[in-house]
Amino acid sequence: LLRRLVTLISAQAALGASSQAFRKQAEGASQAARQYLEDNDALRKQLQESGGAPSPTRDENETLKAKVESLKEELQLSKK
């Protein structure tokens, strides 16, 4: 009976230590995630304050695609 009691107390101590380690690990991960979210928000605010990178319009995209195609053709001709 005493041996079983000692075994159970030992198992409880091991589980308690394991539980504390997992709790600390979870708190660390939570804190890191919170910090990443704060950094992300700060970067978004900076981008908005600086005016952000203007997104190209559809016409600009089409023009750039045509330019790429013509440059590809020139490259093919120069390879020959």
pTM here?
Answer: 0.48
Q: What are phi and psi of 50, to 5 degrees?
A: -80, 0
Q: Supply the pLDDT for residue 26.
A: 92
Mean pLDDT of the chain: 89
Residue with the two structure tokens 């928000």 = 41
pLDDT tens-place string over residues 53-75: 566 688 888 899 999 999 998 88
Residues 16, 17, 18, 22, Cα dihedral to 10°: 100
DSSP string, 4-56: HHHHHHHHHHHHHHHHHHHHHHHHHHHHHHHHHHHHHHHHHHHHHHTT-PPPP
**3-state class of 80 per DSSP?**
coil
